[in-house]
Amino acid sequence: MNDNEKQFKDFVSNIKLDDTPDTNHRDMLERNLLCAMAKQSRQIKIRRFIMKSQITKFAAAAVIAIVVLGGITFWPGGGSDNGQWWLGPPAAWGQEILASLDTFKAVTCHEQTVFVMSDGSEHTSLTWNILYVSRDSYRRDIYDDDFLREIQWYVPDGGGTLHHSIRYDTKSYFTHSGEGSFGNYDPVERMRSCVSRLDSADRLLGEEVIDGYNCVGFEISADNSEDRVDCIWFDTETKLPVRIEIRGLSVTDQPDKTLTIIQDQFDYNPGLSADTFIPQTPEGFIHAHPDEIKAATEK
Amino acid sequence: MVMIVGTCKLRRVISVDTGSKVNDDSQLVARACHDSTAFVQLYHSHYDAVFRYCVHRLFDRQMAEDVTSEVFLKVIENIDGFKGNEKQFRCWLYRIATNTVNNYLRKTARRKRILKVACEQTNSRFADCEEPADKLALLREAVFTLKPRYQTIITLRFFENMKLTEIAEVLGSSPGTVRSQLTRALVKLRKVLTAEFTEKSEVN
């Protein structure tokens, strides 16, 4: 540092400028960023993948050109009976789908709950989840609107399952080890259940475009006494599930409304890092049982 | 619903292994593309530095918070294209912050408003303490007369205490170029701050 710099450095060092970060802004921005990350990651990934590779750029351009100029429908079943595989016996193509599901190391999806009132009106819950599923581990990121409220992990622990959760709203965590599973949240198990019952599907819901994919849907009554109905849509090109809806779930103590759980935005083999399923606790978080949090919240 | 059967007989505290922090850091950026927990770690490691840099460039906390928010949103949008380690990530982050601040200042009206607001705030806040207020106002006015690139160099050098090689990395330039630009920036600043320098020299 020469004399000029030293002189200026001395001058600057005597000036008081309040540059202490505000923790409120830091926390608020953190929540906004996590929400933005969850919402945008999939779209960005697809766009970047196409635009960064020379081959995919040409492929995308070629597809657009041919579709626009030639008016050729690429999707199976779009104009030819031969492409409509779903009209064949489900026992055959259902097995193919089940076999495909077995090959995936990980699947992620978005989950949303919708309340259906007695007059048929719908109210979408502000709470939504991102689910991560591997062959033996699970993770659920729970959002309240734009705020990442909680992360839950279900990972193998000896002969049982370790359930670890962290809550950003209360800055707390809870760890529990014992028997148990991810239960009904597991979207892959839900897919398997639907596919295995396609033989007894009530009706074909027809073709529609969901999240940009040409899909075909089926409605299947559940195997229980409830009025529950499962609906599943498959990508007509890959035969993989694109959306699952569980309709008609009863709400405790509220007979005038039912629940619909929607799982969509499936990402198959999304290339998750290994530590996605490693439970972590941010520094400074305190140990608290969920009942304690509930009691504190109710107060 | 979730089924967890059995009694709670094992309490386990799971935390980030600080013993392997060096290894963690080198992989943290890669993990942050897909893993929100890793991203949060990265965010907490760098938030303060980015905020301070923005304050030092803009001389205003509120504007610095706005720009900091914008910087990290850009990080989310672009992080999957970033390939590098934690140190390179820091440089990349400063580069984004620099571009964001420069864009923020680019509009003349906004720049004038910043200067006006900052001067008013300074005058009222330091009414009882004339010397620091005068110096801060003087510094601000002097720095804002510089080109954005020179402002960046001054801030990185004297507020962030970066070496010339580090500044060069942030700006995508050579240390020699940064050296000459720093000299030019100081010459220009010196003209505005002559009175202060003279006063200081006399004291010394």
Which of A28, A50, A70 is the endpoint of a domain? A70
Nearest-neighbour CA in chain A from B52: distance (Å): 5
Task: List, in order of start, the domains of chain B with CATH numbers.
Answer: 28-106 (1.10.1740.10)
Contact A272 B61 (CB under 8 A): no
pLDDT digits (tens, 9 = 90+) for B50-88: 999 999 999 888 889 989 999 999 998 888 888 877 788
Residue A131 has pLDDT above 70, yes or no: yes
pLDDT digits (tens, 9 = 90+) for A105-114: 889 999 999 9
Residues A21 and A166 placed together within one structural domain of the fold: no
- Provide the domain limits for residue A90: 81-298
CATH of residue A203? 2.50.20.10
pLDDT digits (tens, 9 = 90+) for A39-80: 665 555 555 555 666 777 777 777 667 656 654 444 443 334
Nearest to A33 among B56, B73, B135 (CB): B73
Mutate to test the interface with B, among A173, A280, A285, A291 (most CBs of B within 10 A): A280
Residues A90 and A167 placed together within one structural domain of the fold: yes
% of chain A beyond a pLDDT of 70: 83
Residues A11 and A118 placed together within one structural domain of the fold: no
Query: Is A52 a member of any domain?
Result: yes
Which of A17, A37, A70 is the endpoint of a domain? A70
Is B63 in contact with B76 (CB distance < 8 Å)? Answer: no
Which of A48, A70, A92 is the endpoint of a domain? A70
Query: Is A75 a member of any domain?
Result: no
pLDDT digits (tens, 9 = 90+) for B4-50: 333 332 222 223 333 344 445 567 788 887 788 888 888 999 999 99
- Closest residue of A to B52, CA-based? A19
Nearest to A282 among B1, B40, B186 (CB): B40
Query: Is A147 a member of any domain?
Result: yes
Residues A115 and A228 placed together within one structural domain of the fold: yes
Contact A4 B186 (CB under 8 A): yes
Q: What is the SS3 string spanning chain A?
A: CCHHHHHHHHHHHCCCCCCCCCHHHHHHHHHHHHHHHHHHHHHHHHHHHHHHCHHHHHHHHHHHHHHHHHCCCCCCCCCCHHHCHHHCCHHHHHHHHHHHHHHCCEEEEEEEEEEEECCCCEEEEEEEEEEEEECCCEEEEEEECCEEEEEEEEEEECCEEEEEEEECCCCEEEEEEEEEECHHHCHHHHHHHHHHCHHHCCEEEEEEEECCEEEEEEEEECCCCCCCEEEEEEECCCCCEEEEEEEEEECCCCCCEEEEEEEEEEEECCCCCHHHHCCCCCCCCEECCHHHHHHHHHC
